Structure 1
Amino acid sequence: MKNLLILGAGTAGTMMLNKLHKELDKEEWKITIVDQYKTHYYQPGFLFIPFGIYNKQDVTKPKYDFFPPGVDVIFSPIDRIAGEENKVYLEGGKVLNYDFLIAATGTQTRPSETEGLKDKLWYKDIFDFYTIEGALALHKRFKDWEGGNLVMCIPELPYKCPVAPIEFVCLAEAYFAERGMKDKVNISYVTLMSGAFTKPVASKMLGDLLEEKNIKVIPDFYLSHVDNENKKIISYDEQEIPFDILTIVPVNMGSDMVKRSGLGDDMNYIKTNKFTLQSDQFENIFVIGDAANIPTSKAGSVAHFAGEILMENILAAMEGRALPAKFDGHANCYIETGHGKGALIDFNYETEPLPGTFPLPGIGPFGLLKNTKMNHYGKILFRWIYWHILLKGKELPIEADMSMAGKKRI
């Protein structure tokens, strides 16, 4: 019997597990999935927790709920992948053999990478919302906060869900306006980018939106360190920004296991062919989701679209055929903008987010680079789609390749 080994039972790994379990001959293939943790988090929901929109129960379920029967499940930290040996070494000494391996080990926040971040103000006046612990701590802090300078800082690229910091400041503006505190809170969006977003057309639209909401955008700020004593963030060129509450996207890095395996770049992301999703080093290793170093967003939608491509290619590789499918870097993100509205962007490696309608030309019902109530409903509906369709590897009526239908070049 041949062995398919999946490392990581987050969004990407669980989705591929379910897809391949349906496709592979159970008498020919044994499927094993390995993960360190037993709880699955709906990470896009962390954003809503500080504002009391979601609670912990809304974003957590047991990982076992999404594993199909007959799969070998191992909960253990991973020591390393030995690609030359077709083996994976787990902590504690257990060794797993594989014929094909899918690496879906994700990305993690590393607050200790920034000087002064994880100091005496951590989870008191300095917070992330990319972990359940940070989101819950910030919710508690907001409850009795009387106002001041709220700073949202992006110190490094890449990071999970690139639009989340924009969503955060928009939701914060709405939250404090609803509490009658709008005039007591000054919100700043501080980023190393030259604008609100990485792509010019979207950056202008989103930057204009933030300006309308009186949210100050401070671009080209390269964070050096956090001064806990004086409550300031300081850049390498000695710009200083004071804060009363600092929310931050900690540096993101791939798993240390990737470094120990010799498969990664300097941020521990696995070197991956951006079209085939095959490891640059081993033909029987494929990579999906945030673990890959491909030049696209680290977002759940990318894992979904890439999963369609990976499915075709790994089945071809198992049969000794040439890899037929190419991933175009498709990403699709709803952006919650507060006050019951949202925006939507759809793009890939070659095409930046453009205005228009999605998914149907001229009909929508969603508006690209538009701030509408319908886009907000799309964002809220996605949680149900995530739990009931995406994780279970079911088909969605959206093509893996990005379509230009409904988009307008400007």
Structure 2
Amino acid sequence: MKKLVILGAGTAGTMMLNKLYKVLDREEWELTIVDQYKTHYYQPGFLFIPFGIYKKDDVIKPKSNFFPPGTNVIFSPIDRIVAKENKVLLEGGKVLNYDYLIVATGTETRPSETEGLKDKLWYKDIFDFYTIEGALELHKRFKDWEGGDLVMCIPELPYKCPVAPLEFVFLADDYFTKKGIRDKVNIKYVTLMSGAFTKPVASKMLGELLAEKNIEVIPDFYLSSVDNDEKKIVSYDEREIPFDILTIVPVNMGSDMIERSGLGDDMNYIPTNKHTLQSDAFENIFVIGDAANIPTSKAGSVAHFAAEILTENLLSAIEGRPLDAKFDGHANCYIETGQGKGALIDFNYETEPLPGTFPLPGIGPFGLLKNTKINHYGKVMFRWIYWHILLKGRELPIEADMSMAGKYRV
């Protein structure tokens, strides 16, 4: 029997397992998925926890709920991949042989990579919201906070869900307005980018929205260290920004297992063909989601669109055909902007986020780069879609390839 092994049972790995379960002959193929953790987290929901919109129970479910019957599931830390021998070594000495391997081990936060970040103020006045622990602790801190300088800092690229820091400051504006202390809270959006976002059209629209909400943008700030004693962040060019509460996107890196395997770049992401999703180094290894070094967002929507391409290309590889399916870097992100409204961006490798309507030209119902209530409802509905459709590998009425229909250039 031939063996296909998937490393990582997060969003990307679980989607691939469900898609391949439907198309591979189970009398011919043994499907194995490996992950060290048994709990699945709806990571986009972490953003809402500090503001009391979601609770912990809203964002967690057992991973086993989403595995199809007959799957070989192994909960174990992974030691390393021995790619030249088509083997995966697990902690404890167990060896998995494979004919094809899909790596979906994601990306992880590394607060220790920034000097002074994980120090005496960590989870007291310094928080991330990219982990369940950080989001819950920040919720506790916000409950009795009476105001001051709230700094949101982005120190490094790439990181998971590029719009989440924007959403955080928009929701903070809404939260403290409703608490009646917005005039006592100075919200600062500190970023190494030259504006609110990486792409100019979206950056202009989002920058104007930040200004409208009296959120100060401090661009081109390359974080060097965090001073816990004086409560300030310091850039490499020695600029200083004081804070009372600091929220931060810790440096993101791929799994240490990738480094031990000798398969990654200096950030532990696997060099991957951005169109075929095949490893640059090994023909029988494919990479999906945040584990890949492809130049698009590290976001769940990217994994969803890429999963369709990877399924086609894996079947082609198995049958000895050319890998004709091409991933175009399609990403689609709702941006919660507070006050019951949201924005939406849709883009790929070649085309930046543009204004227009989505998914139907002229009809929508969602507005691209527009701040509307219907976009907010799209964000709210996505949690149900995630649990019941995306993870189970079911199809959505949105093509994997980005469409220009409904978009217009400015």
Question: In 1, distance between residues paired with 2:175 and 2:371?
Answer: 18
Tell me the equivalent position of 1:139: 139
Question: In 2, distance between residues paired with 1:378 and 1:264?
Answer: 36
TM-superposed deviation, 1:400: 0.2
Q: Deviation string for 1:69-121 (max 9, x for gaps)?
A: 00000011111111110000011111000000000000000000000000000
TM-score, normalised by the number of residues in structure 1: 1.00
Q: What secondary structure is seen at the aligned counterpart in 2 of 1:402?
A: coil
Question: In 2, distance between residues paired with 1:216 and 1:36?
Answer: 41
- Structure 1: 5+ residue stretches without partners: none
Tell me the equivalent position of 2:20: 20
Question: In 2, distance between residues paired with 1:189 and 1:36?
Answer: 35
**1:11-410 equivalences in 2 (<5 Å):** 11-410=11-410
Question: In 1, distance between residues paired with 2:200 and 2:369?
Answer: 12
TM-score, normalised by the number of residues in structure 2: 1.00
Q: What secondary structure is seen at the aligned counterpart in 2 of 1:84?
A: helix
Question: In 2, distance between residues paired with 1:114 and 1:349?
Answer: 30
TM-superposed deviation, 1:127: 0.1
TM-superposed deviation, 1:357: 0.2
- Structure 2: 5+ residue stretches without partners: none
Question: In 2, distance between residues paired with 1:199 and 1:90?
Answer: 41
TM-superposed deviation, 1:262: 1.1
Identity %: 85
TM-superposed deviation, 1:203: 0.4
Question: In 2, distance between residues paired with 1:28 and 1:323?
Answer: 22
TM-superposed deviation, 1:261: 0.9
Number of equivalenced pairs: 410
Question: In 2, distance between residues paired with 1:25 and 1:73?
Answer: 18
Q: What secondary structure is seen at the aligned counterpart in 2 of 1:151?
A: strand
Letter in 2 for 1:179: K
Question: In 2, distance between residues paired with 1:332 and 1:95?
Answer: 38
Q: Deviation string for 1:201-224 (max 9, x for gaps)?
A: 000000000000000000000000
TM-superposed deviation, 1:45: 0.1
Letter in 2 for 1:406: G
Letter in 1 for 2:359: P
TM-superposed deviation, 1:140: 0.3
TM-superposed deviation, 1:320: 1.1
Question: In 1, distance between residues paired with 2:68 and 2:198?
Answer: 39
Q: What secondary structure is seen at the aligned counterpart in 1 of 2:230?
A: coil
Question: In 2, distance between residues paired with 1:39 and 1:186?
Answer: 36
Question: In 2, distance between residues paired with 1:377 and 1:293?
Answer: 32
Question: In 2, distance between residues paired with 1:182 and 1:146?
Answer: 10
The runs of 4+ residues in structure 1 deviating greater than 2 Å are: none
Letter in 1 for 2:8: G
Q: What secondary structure is seen at the aligned counterpart in 2 of 1:102?
A: strand
Q: What secondary structure is seen at the aligned counterpart in 2 of 1:283?
A: coil
Question: In 2, distance between residues paired with 1:234 and 1:324?
Answer: 48
Q: What secondary structure is seen at the aligned counterpart in 1 of 2:84?
A: coil
Letter in 2 for 1:238: E
Question: In 1, distance between residues paired with 2:210 and 2:30?
Answer: 51
Question: In 2, distance between residues paired with 1:182 and 1:57?
Answer: 29
TM-superposed deviation, 1:348: 0.2
Letter in 1 for 2:350: E
TM-superposed deviation, 1:176: 0.1
